[in-house]
Amino acid sequence: MKCQMGIALVLAVSVSVFALEPADEVNPFIGSVTQSSVRNTSSQGKTFPGAATPYGLVQLSPDSVTGGDNGSGYNWEHTTLQGFSFTHMSGVGWYGDLGNFLVTPAVGPLKTSYGEPGKPGSGYLSRKADETAAAGYYAVTLTDYKIRAELTTAAHSGILRFTYPRDECARIQIDLARRVGGTSVLQAVKVAGRNAIEGWMRCTAEGGGWGNGDGHPNYTVYFHAEFSRPLEHFGVWSVEIPEGTPRHHQEFDAGFLKAMEGAKVLPGCREQQGKHLGFYAEFPAQAGEQILLKAGISFVSISGARKNLRAEIKGWDFDGVRNSARETWQRELSRITVKGGTHEQRTAFYTALYHAMLDPRAFADVDGAYPGGDGKAHKAKKYTRRTIFSGWDVYRSAFPLMTLVAPHLVTDTINSLSDLAVESERNYLERWEFLNAYSGCMNGNPAVTVVADAYKKGLRGFDAALAYELSRKTCERFGNGRLGYKPGQVSDTFEQGLDEWCLSELATALGKQEDAQKYRGRSQAYRLLFNPETGWFAPKDGRGRFLPQPKGRLDEKGCVECNAFQQGWFVPHDVSGLIALLGGKDQFVALLESFFENTPDVTRWNDYYNHANEPVHLVPFLFNRAGAPWLTQKWVRFICEKAYGSDVYGLCGDDDVGQMSSWYVLAASGIHQACPGDTRYEVFTPLFDRVDIRIDPVYGLDKIFSIAARNNAPGPRYIQSATLNGRPFSRCWLDHKELVSGGVLELELGDQPNKDWGTSE
């Protein structure tokens, strides 16, 4: 008996010692494919697998392709890598950008063209093997050079460690012109000491970039880089690009590749400025010798880049930087912890939370300096300037998630968008901001919803008066206007209806009753597009006449990345009004259920519940609002189990700067807002046995809200009964104040619906 007890104790201790922490559950490769040619799937998360820190400016990751519709610059299915660059975008569906300061280790003769993906020998790219990645770390073997490359980062800087074979001509080369969506248009580099270089890269729409230039990119990346070995044999290469040669999508342009291959090499050059430059440093290496490079990045100045590096990576302790990055991720990912589920589900969950915490990233240096919308340097004192606001996507799930676990990111973003509007003299809030660019991408006025949602949840870390005035000007400029709807547009009309309802809620909270009444009336725009003859919604022309819909409800005319059937459910701010318009609860629920039942495959693009794109992301929660909460429980569980996975194909659509991932984090936890701007959270069956949400201190110290599910199991599970802090709980929703006050919501589950629970308000 004593022996058996001893064995049991040893086993218990072993399980405790080797239990994985949240940071260890992360698989950065999830979603890192684009338009798969290997698997018959629509999975294309477009994420990157490289090293980053939460919301950090530097995201140091491998690149396999330049140009084309590959926003991150990486595709796991590609067999070759061009190198490792310091800036990236995650999950974007438009033509990507960043990918600046591309570093490649090599041996042998110098090559000045990155080459054609999948064709070893066509440039300095190399085949890859033994890729591995973790939170804050990435490593790979470049097999053509027999070099092991490792990457890790701090917030504004990164460090690479290269382990070489024996070679008299080991090299680190840096392509200063390369950019994910094309090229920078002008670069400068200077040797700045015995082992350092510094300079800048100017990126404008002329060189492609964000939206193939249509997103109006205009930024300059400054760098200060140091080598662990003195610079003795080094130089610059310079490419003369033939006039008229396109500088985007160029991996398919033979003239561009030929020009890069014929670059002029300038050995010993210490300073150069030009339109297409690279820098190289060569060293003799012994077998197994390690040479490191570290660099600080800034969007303000070279001195800012230098300060960033010296503040964050003082020496050459690669493993120390890696451990620090992991500890930072562990702290942030522990804001939500889960128990139960499978290992694959926990990996999907923590990786989703990881992806949600990549943006909005810091745009400021360590001293607070940032580039303003007026082209001048500024310094923020009370907030961190941030960038990359994928508004149309992230207002639905990502920002509601942040209001719980990282509210300072929300207020930082509101301050950033507000100050940008003033600095640029545009005086409205941009819907898709990228490095100060007003890209105008997508539709609606999502920043207005973010402002209202934050204010109604009690967040006050921004100038509410300024944010309100900018929100009002935004809705006046891009709202539904004199007609009350957008001619020819269903999606615009519906999205702007929610925005104007949010503005009315914000006006009410600020005591602006006249504005509140005005915008509440305008929020009813959806009614003007209801066609009683078809029983659904359709676009109208400027004279109020319905436009024909050859495909009926499935017609895409006037819709943005969806059809009328998908867009027509989008009245989250007036679900009761929508229910009445569609004939009452029974008819509403039956039609909504058919919307899900007719979905051919939730993981693939389709005309019904198309989880691969945002317009339907709030639809599963409407059953709760219509008195049929067991159907929200059914379909949310179904989507969580079918549409997300733990491998590279684990995202069924573009991650869209964390929106797809954020939806999963909330849905798998058992809570989600059906209407951002409304403080009500829908309650349904969580994927895990227990979810602990550590409420941010802005709402009060040491508070945890826990959701515990008893009798949980795979497949459909339904709530039979519930208690909140030990008392019977019969609502299928929680208010934000209840959630952030902390407590325990216990759910008793079963395999059959309880159609009595959660149906009362």
Cβ neighbours of residue 150 under 8 Å, at least 6 residues apart? 137, 138, 139, 160, 161, 162, 163, 318
Indicate the residue type of 568. Answer: G
Residue 131 amino acid letter: E
Tokens of 730: 């019969």
Give one DSSP letter per residue of 53-99, joined into a string.
Answer: -TT-S-EEEEE---SSS-TTS--TT-SEE-EEES----S-SS-----
My answer on whether 350 and 319 are in the same domain is: no
Do 261 and 384 have their domain in common?
no
Specify the CATH number for the domain of residue 581: 3.30.2080.10
Looking only at the bridges linking them, the beta strands covering 83-85 and 59-63 are antiparallel
- Residues 623 and 759: their CA atoms lie apart, in Å, by 10
Per-residue DSSP letters for 556-574? Answer: -TT-SSS-HHHHTT--GGG
CB 286 within 8 A of CB 101: no
Q: What angle do CA 393, 398, 400 make, to 5 degrees?
A: 120
Among 216, 1, 238, which residue's Cα sits nearest to residue 110? 238
**Which backbone phi and psi does 440 adopt, to 5 degrees?**
70, 15
Give a yes or no: residue 37 inside a domain. Answer: yes
Q: Is 139 in the same domain as 216?
A: yes
What CA–CA distance (Å, rounded) separates 98 from 101? 9
CA distance 415 to 417: 6
pLDDT greater than 70 at residue 1: no
For the cut 70, the answer to whether the pLDDT of residue 576 exceeds it is: yes
Distance of CA 615 to the CA centre of its chain: 17
Residue 371: phi, psi to the nearest 5? Answer: -80, 125
The amino acid at 365:
D
> Directed axis angle between helix 446-456 and helix 491-509, to 10°?
30
Confidence of residue 255 (pLDDT cuts 50, 70, 90): confident
* pLDDT value at 248 more than 80: no
CATH number at residue 314: 2.70.98.10
Task: Verify that 589 and 480 share a domain, yes or no.
Answer: yes
Residue 375 in any domain: the answer is no
Neighbours of 728 (CB within 10 A): 8
Regarding whether 466 and 317 lie in a shared domain, the answer is no
* Residue range(s) defining the domain that contains residue 176: 28-326
Residue 95 in tokens: 């033509």
Q: What secondary structure letter does DSSP report for 152?
A: E
pLDDT class of 15 with cuts at 50, 70, 90: very low
Q: What phi and psi, each to the nearest 5 degrees, are found at residue 5?
A: -65, -40
Q: 688 with 579, same domain?
A: yes
| pLDDT tens, residue by residue, 60-117 | 999 999 877 788 999 999 999 999 999 999 999 888 999 999 999 999 999 999 998 8
Helix (H) / strand (E) element for 350: namely helix 343-356
| Residue 176: band (very low, low, confident or very high) from pLDDT cuts 50, 70, 90 | very high
Helix (H, G, I), strand (E, B) or coil at 311: helix
The residue among 325, 461, 242 whose CA lies nearest residue 50 is 325
> Does 252 have pLDDT greater than 60?
no
Domain membership of residue 7 (yes or no) is no
* CB burial of residue 460 (10 Å; 0-12, 13-18, 19+): exposed
pLDDT in tens, 200-230: 999 999 999 999 899 999 999 999 999 999 9
The percentage of residues in the chain with a pLDDT greater than 70, rounded to a whole number, is: 95
CA 340, CA 690: separation in Å to the nearest integer?
Answer: 7
**Helix, strand, coil abundance in the chain, percent, nearest 5:** 30, 25, 45
245 vs 174, residue with greater confidence:
174
Q: What is the mean pLDDT of residues 427-443?
A: 97
Examine residue 20 and state whether it is found in any structural domain, yes or no: no
Average pLDDT over residues 658-684: 98
Instruction: Compute the average pLDDT of residues 690-718.
Output: 96
Residue type, 84: F
**Residue 69: per-residue pLDDT:** 73
Q: How many CB atoms lie within 10 A of CB 348?
A: 27
Q: Are strands 361-362 and 147-153 parallel, antiparallel or unpaired?
A: unpaired
Q: Residue 11, Cβ neighbours under 10 Å: how many?
A: 10
* CA nearest to 726, candidates 739, 710, 743: 743
Say yes or no: 669 and 737 in one domain: yes
* 36, two tokens: 């798969």
Backbone angles phi, psi at 638, to 5 degrees: -60, -45
Q: For residues 524 and 628, state if they share a domain.
A: yes
Q: How many angstroms from the chain centroid is the CA of residue 339?
A: 25
Mean pLDDT for 463-492 is 97
Condensed to tens digits (0 to 9), the pLDDT of residues 726-741 reads 999 999 999 999 999 9
Task: Classify residue 335: in a domain, yes or no.
Answer: no
pLDDT value, residue 6: 37
Average pLDDT score over the chain? 94
Same domain, 701 and 580: yes
Report the SS3 class of residue 634. Answer: helix
Within a domain: 445? yes
What band does 398 get if pLDDT is binned at 50, 70 and 90?
A: very high
Q: 3-state DSSP call for residue 693?
A: strand
Asked, for residue 268, whether it belongs to a domain, the answer is yes
What percent of the chain clears pLDDT 90, i.e. is strictly above it?
A: 90
H/E segment holding residue 519 = helix 513-522
Asked if 572 and 713 sit in the same domain, the reply is yes
282-292, pLDDT tens digit by residue? 999 999 999 99
Model pLDDT, residue 633: 98
Are 148 and 162 within 8 A, CB to CB?
yes
Q: Does pLDDT of 403 surpass 60? A: yes
Query: Would you state the pLDDT for residue 43?
Result: 62
CA distance 681 to 27: 29
How many helices (H) and strands (E) the chain has is answered by: 19, 38
Peptide bond into 548 cis (omega under 30): no
CB neighbours of 741 closer than 8 A, spacing ≥ 6? 699, 700, 703, 705
Residues 515 and 419 in one domain: yes
Q: What's the domain count of the chain?
A: 2
- Residue 437 domain-assigned (yes or no): yes
Judge if 547 and 448 occupy the same domain.
yes
Question: What sections of 105-241 are H helices per DSSP?
Answer: none
Residue 441 has pLDDT above 50, yes or no: yes
Q: What's the CA dihedral at 740, 745, 750, 754 to 10 degrees?
A: -80
* Opening angle at CA 684, ends 682 and 687, nearest 5: 130
pLDDT at 589 over 70: yes
Query: What CA–CA distances, in Å, run from 635 to 87, 598, 606, 638?
Result: 37, 13, 16, 5
- pLDDT-based confidence at 7, cuts 50/70/90? very low
Tens digits of residue pLDDT in 117-132: 899 999 999 999 999 9
CB 82 within 8 A of CB 94: no
Mean pLDDT of 661-679: 98
Contact 60, 72 (CB under 8 A): no
Residue 692 to residue 705: CA distance in whole angstroms = 6
Confidence of residue 36 (pLDDT cuts 50, 70, 90): low
Contacts of 700 (CB under 8 A, 6+ apart): 740, 741, 742
Which burial class, exposed, middle or buried, applies to 606 when counting CB atoms under 10 A from its CB (0-12, 13-18, 19+)?
Answer: middle
Confidence of residue 249 (pLDDT cuts 50, 70, 90): low
DSSP track, 215-260: T--EEEEEEEEEESS---EEEEEE--PPTT--SSSGGG-HHHHHHH
